[in-house]
Structure 1
C-alpha cells in the first residue's frame, strides 16, 4: 500500500478507523469475558445459595456482553473471526483485558471490591457508549448499561453489608479495597487508539469519566464507614497483553474444552 505525504505528516490519517474500533471493542470484550470467567468460580462456593445464583447471573450477563463485542471485533478487524475464535484460540498475550478483571477472586470481600470498581466504571462507560453514532454499538451500550446497573447495585449492597456487619467482615472489606485499588487506574487509560476514536466521535474516551467514578465509589465506601485507598503504586499492562501470573490458569480453564476437542460443536 502506498503511503501519501499527507499520511506521513499525520499518522492518525493513515490509521484505519475500523481497526482502531476493533481494538477498542476487543479490550471491552476481553474485560467482560475474563471477569465473567472469574465470577463463574464462585458457583457452589459463594457464602449463600442466593449468591451462587446472583454471581452466576452476573457472569452470564458479562459473557453476553463479551459475545456481542467479540462478534463486532471479528467483523471490523477484517479477519472474519467469530466470538468463539477470539475467546478460545488466542494466546494469553493476545488478550487485552484490564488487569483488574483477572485478579484472583480472593475472599468474598475482595471479589465485591473488584465488582464495586468494575461495575461503576462499566455503567458509566456503557451509558456514554449509548450516545455514539453507530446505531448497533449505541444499542449495545444502552442494553449493557441497564444490566450493569443491577450488578452495581449488588456490589454496593454487599460493600455496606460487609462493612456494617462484624469487625472481621469490615476488616476484610477494607483489605479487599486495598487489594483491588492499585488496578483501577488502568480502566481509564487513554492511548493513541482511544484518542483517535474519541477525536472522531466514534466512541467516548473513558478518561473523562474517572472523576464521576471516584465520586460514586467514594460515596459508597465512606457511607459504609470504610476508607477509600490511596495506592502507592499502579498496575498496568493488561491492555498491552502483559498479565498477572494467575492469568495462565484462568485462560487454561476457559479454553480447556476447546483445546481437548478442537473444532467440536454442540
Structure 2
C-alpha cells in the first residue's frame, strides 16, 4: 500500500507543477484534475497502510513526515517533468501500468482494497486515454513535435522495468493470494503501449539499461527537491490543523 500510495502521491506532485505552465489552458485543467485523482488514490492507500502496519499513522503522517529514504515509489514517477512531450511519455508508461494493476487489485480478496482497485481503474482509464491522445497528436503532428515525443519516450523507457519487478515482499503477498504481482502484467502493458506508440508513427525504445532502486528507497537527485516542496508547509506549520 505504501509503494502504490507513494507512486500516486509523487506523480501527483510532479503533475501539479504544470499548472499555469501547460501549453494550453485546457491542459492546465486536465493535468490538475489528473493530479487530484492521484492524490485521492494516495490518500486511500496511505490511510490503509497506516492502519495495516499497526502504527496508527495517518495519511498526513506518511506523506509529510517521512524521510526521502522511507518513500517506496518507482523512480519513473519522480522523474522531472521536462518538456510537455516528456511528461506525456511518462504518463503513457504509468497510466497503462496503473490501469492494469488496479484492475487486478479489483479481484483481490480484501473487500476494501478490491473496491479501491475497481474505482481507481476507472479513473486511470481516463488518464490513459489522455496520454494516448497526446502521444498520437505529437507523433503525427510536426517534425519537431514528433522528435520531442520520441525523445521523451527514450528518456522514460529505462525507468519502466521497475514497475513490474518482483521482490520478496511482492512474491510473498502474491503467493498467498493477498495481492496480485505486477510482473505478469508486463506483456499486456508492452502490447498496449506499443500499439499507441507505433500508431503515432514513433518507435518503442529498446533501452540498454534499466533504472531501479525506488522501491527500496534509493531515489534520484531531483527527489530531494520534490520532497522538500511537498512537505514545506507541514514543516513550517508543524502540528497545524486545517
Give the drift of 1:210: 0.1
Residues 1:105 and 2:81 are matched in the alignment: yes
State the shift of 1:207 in Å. Answer: 0.1
Aligned equivalents of 2:229, 2:171: Cα separation in 1: 34
Q: Look up the match of 1:126.
A: 102
Superposed displacement of residue 211, structure 1: 0.2
Q: CA deviation at 1:255?
A: 0.2
Q: Distance in 1 between matches of 2:64 and 2:113?
A: 24
Displacement of 1:150 in angstroms is 0.1
* SS, match of residue 241 in structure 2: coil
In 1, distance between residues paired with 2:90 and 2:200? Answer: 16
TM-score (ref. length: structure 1): 0.91
Counterpart in the other structure of 1:142: 118
Q: What is the CA distance between 1:67 and its match in structure 2?
A: 0.2
SS in structure 1 at match of 2:77: helix
Number of positions where the alignment pairs a residue of Structure 1 with one of Structure 2:
242
How far did residue 264 of structure 1 move? Answer: 0.5
Shift of 1:123: 0.1
Once residues 77 and 200 of structure 1 are traced to their aligned partners in structure 2, the CA distance between those partners, rounded to angstroms, is 18
- The runs of 5 or more residues in structure 1 that have no matched partner are 1-24
- Residue 159 of structure 1, CA deviation: 0.1
Instruction: Quote the offset at 1:236 in angstroms.
Output: 0.2
Q: Distance in 1 between matches of 2:139 and 2:170?
A: 37
Deviation per CA, 1:19-48, whole angstroms, max 9, x where unpaired? xxxxxx100000000000000000000000
Alpha-carbon distance in 1 for matches of 2:41, 2:69: 21
State the Cα distance separating 1:182 from its structure 2 match: 0.1
Question: Could you tell me which residue of structure 2 aligns to residue 252 of structure 1?
Answer: 228
**TM superposition shift of 1:247:** 0.3
Q: Deviations over 1:133-184 (max 9, x none)?
A: 0100000000000000000000000000000110000000000000000000
Shift of 1:105: 0.1
Q: Which residue of 2 aligns with 1:4?
A: none
Deviation at 1:119, TM superposition (A): 0.1
Name the CA distance, whole Å, in 2 between partners of 1:74 and 1:94.
Answer: 14
Q: TM-score, normalised by structure 2?
A: 1.00
Give how far 1:93 is off: 0.5
CA RMSD of the aligned region, Å? Answer: 0.3
Residues in 2 aligned to 1:85 and 1:55: alpha-carbon distance in whole angstroms? 26
Instruction: Name stretches of at least 5 consecutive residues in structure 2 with no aligned partner.
Output: none
Max Rg structure: 1
Partner of 2:185: 209
Q: Deviation per CA, 1:176-207, whole angstroms, max 9, x where unpaired?
A: 00000000000000011111111111100000
Report the alpha carbon displacement of residue 258 of structure 1 after superposing the two structures with TM: 0.2
State how far apart, in whole Å, the 1-side matches of 2:179 and 2:69 are: 25
CA distance in 2, matches of 1:227, 1:265: 49
Q: Distance in 1 between matches of 2:28 and 2:51?
A: 35
Query: Following the alignment from structure 2 to structure 1, what is the Cα–Cα distance between the partners of residues 87 and 9?
Result: 16
1:61 CA displacement: 0.1
1:191 and 1:150 map into 2 onto residues whose CA distance is 30
Q: Deviations over 1:49-91 (max 9, x none)?
A: 0000000000000000000000000000011000000000000
CA distance in 1, matches of 2:40, 2:159: 24
Partner residue, 2:162: 186
Give, in angstroms, the shift of residue 130 of structure 1.
0.0
For residue 218 of structure 1, report the CA deviation from its aligned partner. Answer: 0.2
